[in-house]
Structure 1
Amino acid sequence: MIEPLDLNGPLTGGTVVLEASAGTGKTYALSHRVLREVGENGRAIDQILVVTFTRAAAAEIRRRIRTRLEEASTVLAYRLANDNRLASDPTLDELISRWAASPQGVEVLLNLLQAIDRIDLAPITTIHGFIQRLIQDNGTLLGLDPQRRLREGGRSLLQELVNDWRRSVLSPAPAPWQAWVQSHSDLSLDGLMKLAQLVDDDRDMLLPEPLDTGATAVDGWQQRHERFERLLASDGISTGEAMQQLCKGTGNKSPAGALLGKTKLAQLPELIAIARDRNDIKTYRKLVQAFSTSQLKRVLADPDQAPSSGLHGAAEQLCFEPIEQLLTDLVHALRQGAWQRRQLKQEMSFGDLLERVDPARLSPPVLAGLKQWRQQQLSCCLIDEFQDTDPIQWRLFAALFDGEAPLTLIGDPKQAIYRFRGGDIRTYRSAVSTPERQRFSLDTNRRSDPALLSVLNRLFAGEGSFGSPTIDYRMVQAPEHASPSRLRCADGSPAPPVRMRWLGEADGGKPLKLGELRDSLPQRVCDDLQRTLSSGMELQQGDGWRALHPGDLAVLVGRNREAVALQRELQRRGIPARIGRGGDLWQSPEAASLSLWLESSERQGDRRAAAALALSSVGGFLAAELSGWSPSDWGAWLQQLEQARQRYALVGPLAALEVVQAAGPGLPRLRGQANGEQRLSDRRQMAELLQQSWQDQGRPSAARLLHWLTEQQLFGGEGEDAQQRIVASESMVTLTTLHSSKGLEFPLVWCPTLWEVDGGVDAEAPFRAWDPSQQRRVLELSRRSGSSPRAERLMEARLEGWQERLRLGYVALTRAKHQLCLDWGRIKDSGASLPAWLLHPELRQQEAEQPWQAIADHISRASDLRQALQHRCDELGIHLEDLNPEAPPAYRPAANTQPLAAAAAMIPPRRPISSWGRWSYSRLHDQSQTLSPSAREEEGFDPDRESSPEDPGGAEDPCWRELPGGASFGTLVHAILEQLDFEADLSSPEVRQLVRDEVARSGLDPQLSNSLLGAIEVLLQRPLGG
């Protein structure tokens, strides 16, 4: 039984489950719970563990808890002094009134003040951050070195392992066997990398037991191949004729698929011989596979009729057993090899962290020691985004907290969308469904307008909206007195909360082709965005109304390449746009400019390389300018490049790049271009990563660093560092993928690709499956899709993938605050999509193997599809409209509606810091990056809490911006500050000599002495934290 949560109700012990639908304020509820644990139960803030999914989310939760504690303590202090000051919201005000009236009011206030003082010590972290702390404190107990580095991502290491395996196992093998292996599409380099990533990431997944055949996979294949060829020569014709008769019946299909119809199967032996003679191994294998028992089971209406002896059994063994043996050996070698190589490097991956603390693998004494550590260090735990927790994580938290200390599990099964990262909805169901669990829900949505909530409630109403009987939709409501709609049309009427654009159908009432829809996506969507911005629609802001600007609009798509295509089209139209939380940094145009710079650094004195760099965005010169250069001009440019080259060798690429940038007009010219600030931010971010790589690799040459940069461009970076930092986002349309949109909200949202359907698990490729007998996830390597257990596991995996796509669609639909726009039509292969499932509830077949099949047939064949859709939209309150073929009005930004971020200075001011904290030089230098409100929100800052003009941290002296960055310069500043007498006169000869000595010792430019002394003087005049 799930009950609505009373945030000020009794603080229950034990394990509490809080189901928080999208937009209902789970972070608010979490911070309020922490506030009460501190104030009422007197728990020390540094003993309350709060765990969430990302570092950005952890930073945001810490900020929210800090703000909650500060406001509560301030208002409570006034109340205790008989000043009836009100809190910012009724829930908090009610709680403070109760505290002020109780005899323990002063004690509660002291608890809150102590928590504020120690908030920076609070263990508010990611799951992996918590496990790192556990290992650091219990390294001896666990037999682990706590000083091992955590390495995010492991693509490069896995690529080494896969390449080594290919060289050592495949390359020496006979050519026919190599061709046989390569005929499997999932055994290409990309396919093997996906398999390696799956094996390395999911440590709870059981691998198949190694096959003890007494022979290698290649030897087994040769023996089986010879046997099959003998039987084919003797029995092929008769077996083929018998197969043709067997497959003739109604409901049967051809085991050869598109290669040969079921009425021509007698020709199989002849076609196999032709493919063999042509050395067409892929066709040969598929034709041989048509004889196999498993393939016949797939295509026969009665699988029990599939023969298994003679040629059929030989084909079964040849097609499947050697490859299964090869893959089994590979996955065990990958898992073991990855751990061994990380050991040599003194590194650990996220998967290693989890595996080493899995209670299922720990001895009872070790587990008892961990429990004792928890009792000493942590008094309670709250887990955010619990629906994405994997089995090992839950086993650890259950062992340490469940039944031992208060444990709060906060999540929403409707938003469980990270199965590919190891998140397991079964873990959530298992953890929350035991009888002793106390289950509550949050049912008030404070994100979306009541009119929009009303449509969504009707759309998801009824059973089976998520394709599973275990996940129900709970109706949500808007707060009392909320305005029905905060978006209005130009004529003052309320804008429709949900728009559905009818894309139409192909000629003759046939479904639209997917390729054509994908090709037309940028123009179709951008036309509507441009039309919306020019429509005169207004958004309520406080007591007034304002015109829409691009920052109010967001487009959610399925693939990142679609977001990139939309961004290009919008920028072509003069509408600024950004890629969500940041696209792939290494795909920025600045990566090419940095490549030219590194190449010129390596090719000393090469005039061609120098000219290419001068014409790039780093140099910033025009071709006409270069054509007029005199020999002295060229000499000056080459001299600057030589100076940068020397600086590279001395202190690294970051400082060297600054020399090159200062030598040309690249910076001001790039700032003057559309999206120029973003490109500059990308360049700076990449330069910082180049500096880090330069240090990690032991100061390599420019050529070696260029090789590293090229690898990042080809294969993409890893972790959060590979994601762009966003600047000026409030003036830009947001373009993001469905997965990346989770946790965000936007005034107006477009979902133009929800009709897309993922093909699901391939019939032969390896995949992660569920084994009910072991109650564990297993790696399914069998390729016999028609035989048990792969057939049942494949069907279940495809069903689970479809259910997750429904949940992903729910996440997308619940991002909108005021208006949602969907695209729909008679579209090929769209029957399994979320719009199809929600728009045709009467055709759902929940118990069928493919519950969406009747819907798919209806979309393809119904003559009155458009009329039926209109009737359904009228019921739901959705505004159905035809696609507008006319060109939209030209976009002209309104000067008085541009957000503040768009009016940034040519050189962005450093971000003001007004809160006290613990600071390093690197953190101080990072203030040179100005974050827009939405970017700050994504990194855990409050966009509504602007700094005051009187804030002493608000005025930043420009001298720091003129100094270099990087670890070497940071070490120099630390060395000076450690020896400096803060009471001394900074102009004294002793202090000047100290600075000169340390600059000389650092190896940096001696000219730094004068400018650095002035910067330190500014730093010492600032308050702590600023």
Structure 2
Amino acid sequence: MNRIMTQSLDSFQLPLNGVRLIEASAGTGKTHNIVTLVLRFILEKNLSIGQILVVTYTNAATEELRDRIRQRLHEAWRQMSTGQFNDPELAAFCKTLDSSQRANFLRLLRKAVCRMDEAAVFTIHGFCQRVLQEFALECGLAFHWDVLPDDAALYREAAADFWRHLMKKAHPMEVLWLLENWKGPDGLLQHLAPLKSPVPPKILPEPSATHGPNFSQADALFQVIRTMWLEHQKDIEDTLRNHKGLDRRTYNNKAVDDLLETVKALCASNTPPPTLPPSFEKLTASMLARKTKPGENPPAHPFFELCERFWQFMPKLLEGHRIELLKSAEAFVRQAVWRRKEAERVLAFDDLLVRLEQALSSDPWGRVLSERIRQKYPVALIDEFQDTDPLQYAIFQKIYATPNGSAPLCLIGDPKQAIYSFRGADIFSYVRAKRDAGPKNTYTMDTNWRSSSGLVTAVNHLFSRHPYPFVFHQDIPFQAVRSAPTADTRPLCLDGKPSAGLMVRFLSSRHLDTSKEGFILSEAAQKGAAADCAAFIATLLNLADQNRATIGAGRLKANHIAVLVRSHREGRIMQEALRQRGVASVSLQRESVFDSQEAEDLTAILGAVANPANERLLRTALATETLGWNASRIIAMERHDTLMEDVQSRFHRYRELWNRRGFLASFMALLKEENVPSHVRSLPAGERRLTNLLHLAELLHQADQTHSGVDRLLRWFKDRRRAQYAPEEEQLRLESDETLVQVVTIHKSKGLEYPVVFVPFPWTIKPRGAQKNDPVRFHDPHNLSLRVDLGSVNIEENRRRAYREEMAENMRLLYVALTRAKSLCVLCWGRIHGASASAMAYLLFPRLNTDPLQELPQSAMDNFFKDEDLKNSLEDIARSSSGAITVEDADVHGRARRHPSSEKTPEFRARKFHRDLGVPWRVTSYTHLALGAEPYTPDDDAVAEEEPERGAHDQEIEPVFLFPRGPRAGQCLHEIFEKVHFSMASAQDLQANVAAALARHGLEPHWQEPVLSMVENVLETSLHHDHGSLTLKDLEAGDAFPEWEFHFTLGPLDPLRLYNALKDTALYERSVNGLQFEMLQGLVRGFIDLVFRRHGRYFIADYKSNHLGNRVEDYARSRLESAMHEHRYPLQMLLYTVALHRYLSVRLPDYDYDTHFGGVFYLFLRGMRRDNQGSTGVFYHRPERGVVDRLEDLFRRNGLEDHTHGERIGGVGPTGDSALH
């Protein structure tokens, strides 16, 4: 095997000019070498910290680099100033310095440390944004533009525009094809995704000079077939049934019956389906000929020839149409999005690179721009260069390409860890850069400072066995690295013995479900591997408790262990296996929080907050796991109007709070009042769920600053949930900082390290492969440019190229997984269905050439048919590894469990608690106080004791009594009266108000007249009180205060104290008898339907839509008293009275209850009539002063200062305004 000769990197000797490509390997100290080069550029080139451009991949990486640079510069200054060196490289570098050079270097270092806030450390997008803003004129950009974090919404809108234009002019057959294949604009976008790239790829096949078949031709041919069938149906049918030469195994009676039914169905329509049923081929002349017995003549009829033509024509038509449609859609969408961005002066992240590269490529400003950027940043260090793309490489190539080639450009990366092609990273851009740099300017880092010598040996052994481990060997070779001198200073020891570097846990097919061929089924293998790894982790932690599993001088801890998985689904499998064995774990994911179940729940919840009157949305919200209502609770709410009204009232308050104070205030109120945190924590993975909820709330709060308003923010939220791009701030956060086992995706683990790593499912690291008709992305083998094949004549060959590229990336992903550990890497393997196509199989069983599509050699295939042979081959690998690799049998049942430490611990006794904890503080309401009672009759539309039968008597029943009952109707009526302007209400205003409310609540328009009549009756009915009478229609605008909100403080209160305070009055005694709420204190909160002022007195009115019967007499005083007692309304009346009394006493000068408080009206809307002087439908009562005083005294017994808040009543108090207090 030929080895590529390379030169090792010495970062203190590397020439500081020209292009230098530095290839790292896992654990070889890439970041250390970058900061060393920064140090050298400051000292040797006399550059300021702000002149050295350092570009890396993520925002988190920029912060880490800044911190590492600051530490290195400070440490270098300290060592040089004291002369005490603990860095041998720095000591050797300083040995040749004289005193003046040393003084100068100290000055430069001190200056750099003091100016670290000027350090030019950026992500690639941050760098491009900085340049475009600073050099806007040279870049041809406006001076004011914004960055759009996600342009997915623009692409959806452009796709929808294309779809509309397409459907408008499409042939009916084309419409059917579009709906069948793409469904709509979103489906179209999914098919366009492989074509989307900052640099548009070359699309194959090339445009054709001639026009292919079209739908009009297909339709014309179909009409000929249809006509011939209708005219010759009997002859065709007779031929198919009776021709003696046909093979009746294919054309038996049932098959012919089904075939004829298919033809009849096709010809019954004027438009054929775009995709013909498979059985249609039996009508073609060629198949009939194939299925004719030897020596016989095949059936002959023009119909069969026409079917042959149609069968051959349609696939060509559809394939050609698909290709052309994708091309035109891609061009349309790309141009439409670009025009939209230009108009709105926004750039997405990828656009930053596009615009900078375009500016650098233009003449003559491109050369001027390059020079100015180079003057500002004379040096560039590009970290993680293996994740570059053609645009990024072109940008830095053009900036630092000087005539003499002396501009320093260092490209640092590990091509073996290039695993982000799904984000647009292009390993072939790295390959192009490597070829451009040439071997003389390419350096390798060959010492692993992370892992133990055993693990370094194991990885070297595995990858060195294969001649082409990373598929593209010439450009991405594997070079064995050596372990650092300090590699084994902190070994992992089990029972005092150092562990091997790599352990293979063998899954036996004897203990797991298998296929007919004897392979372990993939699901069974995952279950067995998860059980084994979880049990092994439990065993390690148990040993650590006994000081038998140690790292260096300390014990192994749970957070020293990581489990690496390919997908979030695999992560959930592992977490469940760990949980079953008593091992706590935490998941580190790059998954977007908008993809979580909590995001789906929050969509439903916020939809209900936005539309609290919509009972369907409300039920959906309550049924989410986040709110946690079960079916019986929801059914009870629907049966009891008071419960439904209370819930709707709460959600209405959340919406009002959202409108007044923004999303976050509303959300926090919802969390508190719906008891979300404690409920969510009680669910499985409760901490994860609550973390997600709070994370989503934070993102919504931030978006509320630019998308204010309920509807706009909800649209933003739904758009983000559909978006494909998830910036760092939207990725799932760690739910706990505890020392737990880490479950991490392999992609997320890149750049991280753990003492012990488990890779339970390595056989799932394999290419997915493109599906038929999927666009095929691959790179031209000659110029390495990206191409997308939609259906060229070479598509199968290009599909194989794409598969090779995908296998190469999976090999790199496997390399990342196997190199995260410091001391021990554990993986599972066995005769698993589909495992032979995995990267691990490719590594274990070297192929004969570079083509991963080639079948495994027979000797390797034999190893997949017997457990013994496969295990022996693994043991052969282990034996040749000098003890670095071991093979052990897996416990697929996972019998081990985590148990408490066996160390003797002191006996703990709970201290006795003597202090009174007091009563919990909470916000309560009338509904909470009343609903705890047993027995309880809900505040729904009560029916009359003897309701008349329907039918003949219906015509005698007034329509108002037939108006729907229930919370929806009640909410509608309350909304109508909330918006009535009383004395200023015209007939037209009332009519418009009623019509709008009915429509909003989904009630039929024919109720408009009855409801309008009801409203007029309520406004004009005489309301008699202790000092006279009034009508609501007499109220002036400044004297009516609808939906008056209040809060007042409440001392410790329980049902018995409340009963004793009110038991002496019959009206109140029945309302408080049997209450069963728990002791409480805090705030009483509520909304009074109407507070109004008349002749200096203040009144309360509460609207009731209860149905008490179908006659006006059913709403007489005696019936109203029964309804009041039945629903405990007197308790509500007293709470309202206390609230208004307290408010007036602190806001109204010289306030006196007897003088200023007029009383309370309960208005039963269905029974009020303007012509009966208020004798029906009106319940009036004015609580006695003594009762109110007793309640006041009871409510104030907490020793706290009284606080009463309500919406300010105009003219009451020093300001006289109506603002919220």
Pairing of 1:166-315 with structure 2 (within 5 A): 166-170=163-167, 173-181=170-178, 192-207=188-203, 218-219=215-216, 222=219, 282=275, 284=277, 314=313
* 1:837 maps to which of 842, 855, 879: 842
* CA apart distance, 1:204: 4.5
| Unaligned 5+ runs, structure 2 | 231-246, 267-272, 287-307, 905-1218
Aligned to 1:356: 355
The CA deviation string for residues 321-343 of structure 1, in whole angstroms up to 9 with x for no partner, is 22221121111112112212223
CA contact (8 A) 1:615 1:622 kept: yes
* CA apart distance, 1:32: 0.9
Aligned to 1:75: 79
Residue 728 of structure 1 aligns to which amino acid in structure 2?
A: S
Pairing of 1:426-441 with structure 2 (within 5 A): 426-434=428-436, 435=438, 437-441=440-444
Closer, same or farther: CA 196–312 of 1 in aligned 2, 3 Å: closer
Aligned to 1:689: 699
The CA deviation string for residues 259-298 of structure 1, in whole angstroms up to 9 with x for no partner, is x9x999xx999999886666675464798799999xxxxx
The CA deviation string for residues 699-744 of structure 1, in whole angstroms up to 9 with x for no partner, is 222x554454455556677322321221434523222222222111
* CA apart distance, 1:752: 2.1
Separation in 1, partners of 2:276, 2:835:
31
* 1:416 maps to which of 411, 415, 418: 418
Separation in 1, partners of 2:549, 2:529:
30
1:474 aligns with 2:479: yes
Separation in 2, partners of 1:289, 1:39:
82
Separation in 1, partners of 2:229, 2:644:
75
* CA apart distance, 1:844: 3.4
Closer, same or farther: CA 745–791 of 1 in aligned 2, 3 Å: same
Aligned to 1:103: 100
1:741 aligns with 2:775: no
Separation in 2, partners of 1:368, 1:585:
44
CA contact (8 A) 2:54 2:382 kept: yes
* 2:584 maps to which of 567, 576, 601: 576
Aligned to 1:127: 124
* CA apart distance, 1:374: 1.5
Residue 467 of structure 1 aligns to which amino acid in structure 2?
A: V
Aligned to 1:873: 878
Pairing of 1:499-578 with structure 2 (within 5 A): 499-505=503-509, 506=514, 510-518=518-526, 522-523=530-531, 525-536=533-544, 544-549=553-558, 551-571=559-579, 573-578=581-586
* 2:774 maps to which of 757, 765, 775: 765
CA contact (8 A) 2:627 2:674 kept: yes
Q: Identical aligned pairs, as a percentage? A: 28
Q: Which segment drifts farther, 62-71 or 19-28?
A: 62-71
Q: Which segment drifts farther, 282-291 or 743-752?
A: 282-291
Separation in 1, partners of 2:220, 2:260:
19
CA contact (8 A) 2:531 2:891 kept: no
Aligned to 1:655: 665
1:117 aligns with 2:125: no
User: What secondary structure is seen at the aligned counterpart in 1 of 2:734?
Assistant: coil
Separation in 1, partners of 2:415, 2:228:
54
Closer, same or farther: CA 583–779 of 1 in aligned 2, 3 Å: closer
* 2:157 maps to which of 155, 160, 163: 160
Q: Which has the higher strand share?
A: 2
Separation in 2, partners of 1:268, 1:799:
43
Closer, same or farther: CA 3–198 of 1 in aligned 2, 3 Å: same
* CA apart distance, 1:381: 0.3
Aligned to 2:896: 889
Residue 90 of structure 1 aligns to which amino acid in structure 2?
A: P
Separation in 1, partners of 2:803, 2:860:
16
1:720 aligns with 2:724: no
Separation in 2, partners of 1:547, 1:9:
40
* CA apart distance, 1:74: 2.2
Residue 420 of structure 2 aligns to which amino acid in structure 1?
A: Y
User: What secondary structure is seen at the aligned counterpart in 2 of 1:364?
Assistant: coil
Closer, same or farther: CA 560–164 of 1 in aligned 2, 3 Å: farther
Residue 555 of structure 2 aligns to which amino acid in structure 1?
A: R
Q: Which segment drifts farther, 729-738 or 614-623?
A: 614-623
Residue 354 of structure 1 aligns to which amino acid in structure 2?
A: L
User: What secondary structure is seen at the aligned counterpart in 1 of 2:769?
Assistant: coil
Separation in 1, partners of 2:628, 2:258:
62
Closer, same or farther: CA 523–482 of 1 in aligned 2, 3 Å: closer
Closer, same or farther: CA 420–633 of 1 in aligned 2, 3 Å: closer
Which has the higher Rg, Structure 1 or Structure 2? Answer: 2
Separation in 1, partners of 2:260, 2:318:
16
User: What secondary structure is seen at the aligned counterpart in 1 of 2:416?
Assistant: helix
Separation in 2, partners of 1:385, 1:428:
10
User: What secondary structure is seen at the aligned counterpart in 2 of 1:480?
Assistant: coil
Q: TM-score, normalised by structure 2?
A: 0.62
Residue 201 of structure 1 aligns to which amino acid in structure 2?
A: S
Closer, same or farther: CA 214–611 of 1 in aligned 2, 3 Å: closer
Aligned to 1:456: 459
CA contact (8 A) 1:556 1:751 kept: yes
Separation in 2, partners of 1:231, 1:439:
73
* CA apart distance, 1:544: 1.6
The CA deviation string for residues 879-935 of structure 1, in whole angstroms up to 9 with x for no partner, is 2222214443332465999xxxxxxxxxxxxxxxxxxxxxxxxxxxxxxxxxxxxxx
* CA apart distance, 1:536: 4.0
CA contact (8 A) 1:745 1:815 kept: yes
Separation in 2, partners of 1:102, 1:285:
89
Separation in 1, partners of 2:352, 2:859:
45
User: What secondary structure is seen at the aligned counterpart in 2 of 1:726?
Assistant: coil
Closer, same or farther: CA 290–12 of 1 in aligned 2, 3 Å: farther
Aligned to 2:366: 367
The CA deviation string for residues 517-536 of structure 1, in whole angstroms up to 9 with x for no partner, is 35666545434433443344
Separation in 2, partners of 1:724, 1:128:
22
Closer, same or farther: CA 690–856 of 1 in aligned 2, 3 Å: farther
User: What secondary structure is seen at the aligned counterpart in 2 of 1:417?
Assistant: coil
Q: Which segment drifts farther, 70-79 or 433-442?
A: 433-442
| Unaligned 5+ runs, structure 1 | 80-84, 234-259, 294-308, 898-1004, 1008-1026
Pairing of 1:804-815 with structure 2 (within 5 A): 804-815=809-820
Aligned to 1:1001: none
Separation in 1, partners of 2:321, 2:601:
48
Q: Which segment drifts farther, 799-808 or 196-205?
A: 196-205
1:147 aligns with 2:144: yes
Separation in 2, partners of 1:610, 1:681:
24
User: What secondary structure is seen at the aligned counterpart in 2 of 1:739?
Assistant: helix
* CA apart distance, 1:455: 0.9
Aligned to 1:52: 56
CA RMSD, aligned part only? 4.5
Separation in 1, partners of 2:903, 2:605:
41
Aligned to 1:249: none
Residue 890 of structure 2 aligns to which amino acid in structure 1?
A: L
Separation in 2, partners of 1:517, 1:582:
25
Separation in 1, partners of 2:704, 2:371:
43
CA contact (8 A) 2:449 2:487 kept: no
CA contact (8 A) 2:541 2:549 kept: no
Separation in 1, partners of 2:359, 2:333:
22
Residue 447 of structure 1 aligns to which amino acid in structure 2?
A: R
Separation in 2, partners of 1:318, 1:632:
63
User: What secondary structure is seen at the aligned counterpart in 2 of 1:472?
Assistant: coil
Closer, same or farther: CA 170–1006 of 1 in aligned 2, 3 Å: closer
* CA apart distance, 1:498: 1.6
Residue 740 of structure 1 aligns to which amino acid in structure 2?
A: K
Separation in 2, partners of 1:286, 1:159:
38
Separation in 2, partners of 1:316, 1:607:
49
Pairing of 1:596-607 with structure 2 (within 5 A): 597-604=605-612
Separation in 2, partners of 1:798, 1:187:
28
